[in-house]
Amino acid sequence: MAEKNWAGNYEYRAASLARPRSVEELRDLVLGAPAVRALGSRHSFNDLADTPGLLVSTADLPGGIRIDETARTVTVGGGVRYGDLAQGLQEAGWALHNLASLPHISVAGAIATATHGSGDRNGNLATAVSGLRILDGTGELVDLRRGDEGFDGAVVGLGALGVVTEVTLDIRPTYDARQRLFGGVPWEAVLGRFDEVTSAAYSVSLFTTWDEPAVSLAWLKELDGVELLIGDDFFGAPALTEPRHMIPTMDVRNTTEQLGVVGPWSERLAHFRFAFTPSNGEEIQSEYLVPRPRAVEAIEAVRRLAPVVAPLLQISEIRTVAADELWLSSAYETDVVGLHFTWVRDQEGVEAVLPQLEAELLPLGARPHWGKLFVDRDRVVPTLYPRLADFAALAERFDPAGRFRNPYLTRLLG
């Protein structure tokens, strides 16, 4: 089988690929395969989806959008992309609390890996989950609701419990937002006034290549109707009057509208427009979520590594995520700061740099994003999750025959 991820840097290791169109067909496929994994929108950069057996795509499974206005929830098929969900919610007058940079990712895949947007008070996308329907390793459909035993372990589930066929998410009435950009944020402000910088808007992203004399770009997402905390000066950085892509060589038309133009949340919270591919895919991504109290140390450490990091880097983004109680969330019981790296597509070169980066960040408690490239040569990552043993027991209960186990999970769970 020659199926690759979105960026083309990784070819899945599996015997075959199936695209079931119903839950019944999916059940037959799962029960007929001793080894199976779910495949979403292919935005992971590692072997998370690998299996010696069958890959089952969730793209063609039923994907309706059902809104319960009384409960303020929406239920969707696991393979639905956030861009489609956002459009459907906006048309009905509803919204999510946040979106990731890319609206092209599937709901089930994003929550399974604790994918996130930004904002000091905003939890990752998985924190909006109030219910799951999972086809487990025995072929049973299991419904879990917030508060049920094991729910907090199942949401960020890495595909270990089965195939998530439906997800129920909290929603809120629709709202408008704007984006403003500021260029040249002094490092002294970022390091010396970090809490003020990241709390200056609903969502703040800082973009850098680490070897610059100042952070090249600050990207603020502000809710309309809320008093602006920042004028035309962002800690010494002037407001930009021309739209910008965070990677100077990329087409700015791919990004969502900027320069303070107010519009619906569905067209502002993501960095990239749903109608466009955000780049040519020639990239590799890594990310490390650092406990907020260690964030400045982590930023300083990466700056010291700029001579080895910058030559392989397209851009890096600094974002914040609020703490939660989901067992395998990178923000489990701690607010975190994400250090995201969009590398050039040089697999060998990136893998050579990552051990140096991880030697600085993992001792600070940094948790790698589950779906992005990391190496963890010393097996530090399993020690960073206090509920890992509970998760392993939950996975065994849902999948007693180990159909959904693969080398990735074996490295993690033992």
In a domain, 379, yes or no: no
Answer yes or no: is 281 within a domain. Answer: yes
Whether residue 333 sits in one domain with residue 295: yes
Pairing type for strands 36-39 and 54-57 reads parallel
Phi/psi at 241 (5° precision):
-110, 0
Is residue 313 within 8 Å of residue 306, measured between CB atoms? no
Are residues 346 and 204 part of one domain?
yes
* Whether residue 167 is found in the same domain as residue 254: no
Q: What's the Cα-to-Cα distance from 299 to each of 98, 145, 194, 247, 288, rounded to whole Å?
A: 25, 38, 11, 20, 11
Statement to judge: residues 117 and 200 lie in one domain: no
φ, ψ of residue 274 to 5 degrees: the values are: -65, -30
Structural domain for 359, as ranges: 176-368
Within a domain: residue 189?
A: yes
Could you tell me which residues come within 8 angstroms of residue 24 by beta carbon, excluding any fewer than 6 positions away? Answer: none
pTM beyond 0.75: the answer is: yes
* Residue range 277-325, pLDDT digits in tens: 665 568 999 999 999 999 999 999 999 999 999 999 999 999 999 999 9
Beta strands in 267-414 (DSSP E): 284-291, 313-321, 336-343, 367-368
Residues 186 and 165 in one domain: no
**pLDDT tens digits along 76-130:** 999 999 999 999 999 999 999 999 999 999 999 999 999 999 999 999 999 999 9
Q: E-assigned strands of 283-389?
A: 284-291, 313-321, 336-343, 367-368
In this structure, what are the phi and psi dihedrals at residue 89, rounded to the nearest 5 degrees? -65, -45
For residue 338, the domain's CATH number is 3.30.70.2520
Residues 115 and 101 occupy one common structural domain: yes
Residue 32, number of CB atoms within 10 A of its CB: 12
Q: Which of 283, 300, 285, 315 is nearest to 361 (CA)?
A: 300
R_g of the chain computed on alpha carbons: 20
At residue 308, φ and ψ (nearest 5 deg) are -100, -25
Q: Domain count for the chain, please give it.
A: 2
- For the cut 90, the answer to whether the pLDDT of residue 335 exceeds it is yes
